[in-house]
Amino acid sequence: MNKNQDMTTGIPWKQILLFAVPLFIGNIFQMLYNMVDAVVVGRFVGIQALAAVGASGPSYNLIISLVNGFCSGASVVIAQIFGSGDRQMVRKAYLTSCKVLLLIGIVFSVLGLVFCGSILKLLKTPADVYPDAHLYVMIMSAGILATCLYNGMAAFLRSVGNSVVPLIALVISSLANILLDLLFVLAFGMGVAGVAVATVLSQLFSGLYCFFYINHKIPQLRFRIGEMVVEPEVAKEMVRVGLPATFSTVVVTVSTMFIQAAVNQYGSTVVGAYTVGNKVENVCFCLAFAIGMATGVFCGQNIGAGNEKRTIQGFKAGIVLALIYSSVMAVLAIVFTDPLIGLFSDEPDVFVVAAPLIRITSGFGPVLGVVFVFQHFLRNVSDVRPTVVMSFAEILSRGILPFALSAWLGYFGIWWATPVGWTLSMLIGLIRFLSGKWKGKVNIQKEQPHPGDLTIPDSIR
């Protein structure tokens, strides 16, 4: 199987779909991390423990969004360099991203440990949920380096067209997470702390697998600590692309914190039901995210190769694929709402609260699918400022509507805030694409080849 895809040749929709399928399966297993946590604590510990895992999400996600923002910038730059055919610069970009990610992991791990309690209090986390939520975020923050390791290695592999190895890593670590969850919660009685420790260890497994794979399959990328130097031009471009991407993801995360704060006012049952709704949304539409990411890598490689026509063809193919998939999943999620909720809880109150949330957000699933394509397309052609505007549209809707509508309709009104944000974001992306102002944003220059330049061997393909 060709693990490494050069997307500068071949039929666009097939290339995107072939790359997206492993990403999709990987996203399913990525969702299993938190989904299994939710199922285990919801079924074997209780609704308060489930609410604690849900309430801790925005606080931890705020930290992780900072890490993922840089990974996004690094991935965009490496994909463009890979598409240009400059393998020596690929090595420089890889070493640069490794060193920066190490520093980011250490800094944000400390920040998470110091400020997670303050963020939970700011969100008005219910008193009966706070102790477990705080413990969960503390443990997850302590393990941010493990998250950085996997995200960094996976971002590199995907940027050079390899979505298979990150998938294998996630399958292994997800199975480990299930076993460790059951061991720590059922056998050792560790509760919420058990699922947090299990998640961190599983992420470490996946990161180490990708790291050792790269070292084994691409010997030219092996390095000693002293060789982790920063290439100024590459680092500058990663920051140029990654900083707005980071800001964008942080803005979206903050917007979810507004919704979480609005939800928290209604007590642990509504918080738990909101957690269930989010899990269902993530699982049902994760292929849409994979299609968006695959479209972005396709466009990044082709814009790096200077093929604007093929870049546009890939973008349009991604839009069609996202719409088809998201529409089918929206129908399935609406039809099977009750069985999906039953995976997490059998409490009648949870069904009453979660069912409208799932049906409303699922109805706007096709809009979300298109948003994913616009975001990844714009980032991978280095036109990142509009993605920040798209994110601001979401934070405005999520920051105002949850409180305004809940005052009128109760918690039911909160469920409409997110779909409105998606719609505004989609319109901004559409306007930017039609304007054509995204063209000509790539800044990395190709170096002349040198003897002994890095090659991606056939054994990795």
The 10s digit of each residue's pLDDT in 205-215 is 989 999 999 88
Amino acid at the residue 321: L
Backbone angles phi, psi at 40, to 5 degrees: -65, -50
The answer to whether residue 23 sits within a structural domain is: no
Q: What percent of the chain has pLDDT over 90?
A: 15
197-206, 232-241, 389-398 — most confident range = 197-206
CA angle 150, 152, 158 (to 5 degrees): 95
At 74 the pLDDT is 80
The answer to whether residue 459 sits within a structural domain is: no
Amino acid at the residue 263: V
Q: How far apart are CA 2 and CA 160, in angstroms?
A: 12
- Comparing 353 with 42, the larger pLDDT belongs to 353
The answer to whether residue 444 sits within a structural domain is: no
The answer to whether residue 318 sits within a structural domain is: yes
Give the model's confidence band at 108: pLDDT under 50 very low, under 70 low, under 90 confident, else very high. Answer: confident
Q: Which domain holds residue 334?
A: 30-439
The answer to whether residue 52 sits within a structural domain is: yes
At 458 the pLDDT is 39
Q: 439 pLDDT exceeds 80?
A: yes
Give the model's confidence band at 453: pLDDT under 50 very low, under 70 low, under 90 confident, else very high. Answer: very low
At 372 the pLDDT is 93
Give the model's confidence band at 34: pLDDT under 50 very low, under 70 low, under 90 confident, else very high. Answer: low
- 428 neighbors 389 (Cβ within 8 angstroms): yes
Note the pLDDT tens digit of each residue in 240-285.
777 777 777 777 777 777 787 888 888 877 888 888 888 788 777 8
Q: What's the mean per-residue pLDDT of the chain?
A: 81
The answer to whether residue 413 sits within a structural domain is: yes
At 123 the pLDDT is 72
Give the pLDDT mean for 215-233: 76
At 451 the pLDDT is 37
Q: 35 pLDDT exceeds 80?
A: no
At 166 the pLDDT is 86
At 1 the pLDDT is 36
- Comparing 399 with 329, the larger pLDDT belongs to 329
Domain total of the chain: 1
CB count within 10 Å of CB 2 equals 12
Of 61-65, 117-121, 126-130, 328-332, give the lowest mean pLDDT range. Answer: 61-65
In order, the DSSP letters of 280-294 are: HHHHHTHHHHHHHHH
The answer to whether residue 13 sits within a structural domain is: no
Note the pLDDT tens digit of each residue in 373-432.
999 999 888 888 888 888 888 777 877 888 888 778 778 888 888 888 889 999 999 999
| Cα dihedral 19, 22, 25, 27 sign | negative
Amino acid at the residue 40: V
The answer to whether residue 340 sits within a structural domain is: yes
At 313 the pLDDT is 94
Q: What does the radius of gyration of the chain's CA atoms come to, in whole angstroms? A: 21
3-state secondary structure 100-130: HHHHHHHHHHHHHHHHHHHHHHHCCCCCCCH
In order, the DSSP letters of 189-225 are: --THHHHHHHHHHHHHHHHHHHHHHHHHH-GGG---G
